[in-house]
A and B are shown apart, each in its own frame.
Chain A
């Protein structure tokens, strides 16, 4: 059912408005995380440090874009305004995007990309695993698929982080710099979820993931001979649509054709 009062949600030419129930917001948060991180990984295409890793980065990007597509479709159904995956991805402004600030941070050097992937996935993997028990059957099904993918991402990014941290002096310095630079964005991972959704067991509450995240991060950083920054991650706002300057540029690329040729089919 469409919750928009007018019944006509929007014209195709401008940004769409979303009737954001807590469930719709949850789907969009997770979909936006996956799309923006997948988009960032896809920027590596043709520029990776070795050919084999070129394929690995694309595989992770494809996993994430696939997760985003399923989540957007599910959000559209939950919203009931007839929005499809592309309208949700291509016709919302930066202020309507709900992804974590962490995932929109630029690729930087390979260490930054690996650190970003690791810090996010160390949260997303246990979150999806726990969401497999969701009372929402579609979300549970998406979680079952996503968890297998994130489990591999966690292994891949952990091993690279160890390799870089414990590789050469240069790679160690770059890996530490990447962890330090991204650390302020990690607090946002644990922002509390909607109490009703938690009570209805639709998804786990992010703060409950902190123990698992700490365990993974501490173990891998130690093995990588990297130091965990002492300060807590304090930068946040993504879930409320207050982003870093980077997201606007991502959307400028991502949405360019849909915005330039309103209503066209591709």
Chain B
């Protein structure tokens, strides 16, 4: 998901001290771990990495959708898209703040992203080539994100869980606006329908990859589940997403680009074809279609904003020095 890179990292926490046992007992009792509470170093590290990857994903995720704000085809769509992308900025902000409770600053986290040392969701390294991409991203990418984020509202880390509750509340309109855009195109002219199908064709597989590597590959998600950071496995969430999405596509007359897709009466699940994990690893390693552009855009925004942040701090400093002269 937004933190799929985590599955590749080690998170060894076989700490057997009394503290560790008490900590696990609190987790097992569904207690929330708060900022000042004792926690194993590995738990702190895992959380910082997961939350910051999630935050970076929100921030980088503004770029592909932001690409269409100036070209939105109606004023209603323009306002909705601007508000949605703004929400993503807000979500990044909430998440950075949650990470900060674990003892890391936003500046450090942003530096990690800009230096290419932090990961973010692979999905945002795909380009938005038509207006239909905006519909399909809202419908599928936000749909996939919600699958992942709802269980995170019960995450063992209090600040992260609270941030996710706020995010989920705000995000409820995102998927609907995406589906509405896609639906309008699917019911529009032949050209519009083709545009919608093309967007689905390009985004379907990358969306399935959002849930991260198959369970058979990731030995380390166990600790995440033991600590109740994660509540469902990658494959379980992926299946849930496919089961929810396939009928939504069919309802509006779009085809899922998977010849192997079939409904299994026995299990009640949609069975999907082979995911191209080589592509996934390539995008995650930095060689997706837009990795370089996305990082370049973030670096430019950061560099261009530096004098502004410095000015704000310098002015605040001056004003502290002469409290009598408050601004009007």
Binding site for B on A (CB under 8 A): 35, 39, 42-43, 45-55, 58-59, 61-62, 65-66, 68-69, 72, 85-86, 89-90, 109-110, 158-159, 162-164, 166-168, 170-171, 174, 219, 223, 250, 253-254, 256-258, 261, 264-266
**A-contact bits for B285-328, CB 8 A (1 contact / 0 none):** 00000000000010011001111111110110010000000011
Contact between chains at A265 and B188 (CB < 8 Å): yes
Q: Is the CB of B328 within 8 A of A223?
A: yes
Interface residues of B (CB under 8 A from A): 59, 62-63, 66, 69-79, 82-83, 85-86, 89-90, 92-93, 96, 106, 131, 181, 184-185, 188-189, 191-192, 297, 300-301, 304-312, 314-315, 318, 327-328
Nearest CB of chain B from residue A189's CB, rounded to whole Å = 22
Q: Is the CB of A264 within 8 A of B315?
A: no
Q: Would B191 and A171 count as touching, CB distance under 8 A?
A: no
Interface of B is mostly: helix
Complex CA gap A257/B66 in Å reads: 16
A256 to B76, CA, bound (A): 16
Residues of A within 8 A of B307 (CB): 168, 170-171, 174
| Assembly CA distance A258 to B131 (angstroms) | 11
Task: Please state if A261 and B89 are interface contacts (CB–CB under 8 Å).
Answer: no
Q: How far is the CA of A89 from the CA of B76 in the complex (A)?
A: 12
A261 with B77: CB separation less than 8 A: no
User: In the bound complex, what is the Cα–Cα distance between A159 and B311 (angstroms)?
Assistant: 12
Give the distance in Å from the alpha carbon of A62 to the alpha carbon of B84 in the complex: 11
CB distance from B22 to the nearest CB of A (A): 37
Q: Which residues of B contact A62 (CB under 8 A)?
A: 79, 82-83, 86
Q: How far is the CB of B100 from chain A (nearest CB, A)?
A: 12
**Cβ of A46 and Cβ of B66 under 8 Å apart?**
yes
Offer 13 A-B interface pairs, CB within 8 angstroms, sorted by A.
A45-B69, A51-B92, A54-B86, A58-B86, A65-B75, A86-B74, A89-B75, A109-B304, A167-B310, A170-B310, A253-B70, A257-B71, A265-B188
Known: A46-B66, A49-B309, A50-B308. A65 touches B78 (CB 8 A): yes
Partner among B72, B79, B85 whose Cβ is within 8 Å of the Cβ of A46: B85
